[in-house]
Structure 1
């Protein structure tokens, strides 16, 4: 947890899941990678493919009556998740390990998984399915809201758009007025992305076809949330991030219900 004031969200620890086990289980469901944003950071302990295959063959028994039993409900819920929320924080420079968080809900069950910095393990928690936004907002370790009401980062400003008037064969350039304190991208010490989706997992990474939240940490200042039109950023608190995540989840739930004809 960062220095920011957290929002209320109860969670019950289930245990720590080996990311290799999660990868192999995900492969059994037809995926060739870990769920985003998780990634293996160390070599696996198996040197040969047949060794890995033998290990993978033990998964059903381990889930049914072995060491993976405590995670069986969570993994079953993941395979048929209604809504998934991902959070990824990248530090600058990258010598500080990233924060990687995955939360999801299935019916009346909710779970939060967070990759450890020092090992290829994910800590697994049961959470309320109605508190995914709060669980993720707390987990990304915000520090303090930025000091300025609004900032702009010139390096990331939207480029002007050219328009062609075919009748008169002229090109006009739309000029965007910017407001807020200009901050150089060189002062950025971290940035994060959070996304909610009802869609089944596709390729590893953020879904470019869906809205996501982007926030940044400015050195000697604080945390800021990018505004939807990418023209600037506003001070970010855990409560605000939770509110925005909840809004994304609500949109996904509405879309899911429409698709199901509910």
Structure 2
């Protein structure tokens, strides 16, 4: 068997998928490489990683270089709780304002841009900034945070009663399109999968099996997540019931809808096809 390098986003949304691998409940013939989405995106596209969760928008730009592993994504059906926009004013009153966005995200920044352009019809200025809610709020009228940073910032807003509006982008997307939202996909390098189909099949089965183990042990995940982040157990339990990992036809349709709007906004240059490992046809 070939030694594999597998990317692992450090956020809680990946914990159900990787818990069994971290704890040795399922053997991995390889190594876990941890990092924020943008770093793992870069490492995968540079050929350092064989397999990783890849930001949805990066897949759109590099669809020919990889296959999507079936049955698995990071998604939401409405509220997501970890992709949040904080603002001094209601979103519709931010015309011409400066918006600070986290440098850790790729897909969520595009999602926010699409929502401003096509849903809110508000033109703003985006500025990438290192994630810190209070500092970012001093620099601009709105702030985009993702992952654990977003959840911790939301708890700070509640705890200190900060006078800011909080918009859940998963819910905003659902209100706008009626669709689910897919933030990331597990992908494997095309050249590797074609040269090592057994390993590609094994990786797909490994990740899906690991997810099932994780979701069947939610109390353990909540305790582990609490130790890592300090977030209240009830918040964590709600989160693990909120985030979605499906990639059936409804999620694929939703992803293609997201790509359609990215194309309309000039973010991607052509329509996207979904190349799913183990499936004879592509979608899109």
> What TM-score, normalized by structure 2, do the two folds share?
0.23
Higher relative contact order (CA 8 A, sep 6+): 2
- Which structure dedicates a bigger proportion of its chain to helix? 2
